[in-house]
Structure 1
């Protein structure tokens, strides 16, 4: 069955995610639109009345439960716009000159950072929208965004690896690490884990203990299937503390012994 033919029960998916991982922040979807009018046609879409960062727009969905749509004009500048393909990746943007002496020692380091970012190609889209998955206002989002603690994230990754195992390699671009999460997932279609950066925490309300996973709807469903199998094997969140001075053999038999 092709992706276009798949119908997702988002309420059930979110219920399962909360059941297995006790997620505290609202799981959301993100979708790019070739035409602004397509974005504006979404039911109960909110449009910003002031200028924001993309981090703030994402947070309005993940923290407040809003469905929000934006174009390049709603975002504060080229850095936010470029990550989601709404600004050209031209010479000026690639220079990173505004970060020189602030985030990086010199112009060369700033430019190296810009070149290292994984971003959506420019010219394909006019708009973007985010919305809680359970609202079903984005019935087929391009990617899903899930915030969680490191403990929640490692079990989620274990779920992804249950079937058709894959070793995941992720990068850390540093500042503008939204390029490591939604930028990379939108551009490559691959699950993308990130350490949210200063701006995401300062402007997007990301908490100290939160990481961000961005991935396709089909990979989210795959992870949940894996989590169900792990749960049946007694591998669940929260992970119970065994004790740093206990005889470990009994515990290892439960966690790593072969199941019938």
Structure 2
């Protein structure tokens, strides 16, 4: 789990809104080994006789500002639970037969998709909670989730790469893209960018223009520091169009130095 004790989460979120003008609340996600520890989270909400997708739980935190906790019994099926390690990635999961003829042409294609997903190993965790990051209610959030449009997101990536540069690479499993975002970030600890899939948009409320970045809170803090430096250099959101027919030399000199 991430050590967030030295991070000022409200200030971090304020900086994100100021620098990127986000419209969706950045949230935190934490996995729990014990259900009782999840239940002890301040102002935790629990589903009451309802069944959800993980997308909906994330959406309640990001779209409604709720702090929500779940166990595998609150989730609609194995697919959702398996991504966050609450359900086994057993033979039934690996086969993915329910996807054949719906999302994929053959059972072989469906099984290949299941194999491609990045999931938290099963057996350690029994509960998960999601909450607005600025609320600071989760004791040790594993990851932060940031929804942003493509222009905002590339600047967030640029901020992450400001210092200690490395090339960031991701994939797309297509359906079940939560495996590309929170699944991959939870399982590997690496910043993970994803194109939210059909269920995330249909059930999780993700609008047409948003992408999703999942990363450790400390990595988000690093990205924000980079955003501040980029902003000081005039590289900030919104990105003003320069004009497709204008002489580019003046603009390039401002953004890349004298030419």
SS at match of 1:63: helix
Contact 1:8 1:139 in 2 (8 A): no
Q: Corresponding residue for 2:187?
A: 187
Whole-angstrom CA distance in 2 between matches of 1:3 and 1:37: 20
1:86-97 aligned within 5 A: 86-97=86-97
Q: Corresponding residue for 2:141?
A: 141
Does the C-alpha gap of structure 1 residues 134 and 3 become closer, same or farther in structure 2, counting only changes over 3 Å? closer
Is 1:199 the counterpart of 2:199? The answer is yes
Deviations 1:4-52 (A, max 9, x none): 4842211100000011100100000000000000000000000011000
Q: Corresponding residue for 2:14?
A: 15
Q: Corresponding residue for 1:39?
A: 38
SS at match of 1:51: coil
Does the C-alpha gap of structure 1 residues 51 and 240 become closer, same or farther in structure 2, counting only changes over 3 Å? same
Q: How far 1:3 sits from its partner (Å)?
A: 5.6
Deviations 1:221-260 (A, max 9, x none): 10001001101100000001101111000000001116xx
Does the C-alpha gap of structure 1 residues 40 and 85 become closer, same or farther in structure 2, counting only changes over 3 Å? same
SS at match of 2:47: coil
RMSD after superposition: 1.2
Deviating more after overlay: 134-143 vs 157-166: 134-143
Q: Corresponding residue for 1:48?
A: 47
Deviations 1:146-189 (A, max 9, x none): 00000000000000000000101100000000000000000000
Whole-angstrom CA distance in 2 between matches of 1:48 and 1:5: 27
Q: Corresponding residue for 1:168?
A: 168
Deviations 1:86-129 (A, max 9, x none): 11111111000000110000110000000000000000100000
Whole-angstrom CA distance in 2 between matches of 1:113 and 1:5: 34
Whole-angstrom CA distance in 2 between matches of 1:248 and 1:232: 21
Give ranges in structure 2 of 5+ residues lacking alignment: none
Whole-angstrom CA distance in 1 between matches of 2:51 and 2:138: 23
Contact 2:2 2:217 in 1 (8 A): no
Does the C-alpha gap of structure 1 residues 145 and 3 become closer, same or farther in structure 2, counting only changes over 3 Å? closer
* TM-score, structure 1 normalization: 0.97
Contact 2:2 2:142 in 1 (8 A): no
Whole-angstrom CA distance in 1 between matches of 2:5 and 2:159: 21
Q: How many residues align?
A: 257
Structure 1's consecutive aligned runs of 4 or more residues displaced over 6 angstroms after TM superposition are none
Give ranges in structure 1 of 5+ residues lacking alignment: none
Q: Corresponding residue for 1:256?
A: 256
Q: Corresponding residue for 1:159?
A: 159
Whole-angstrom CA distance in 1 between matches of 2:139 and 2:16: 17
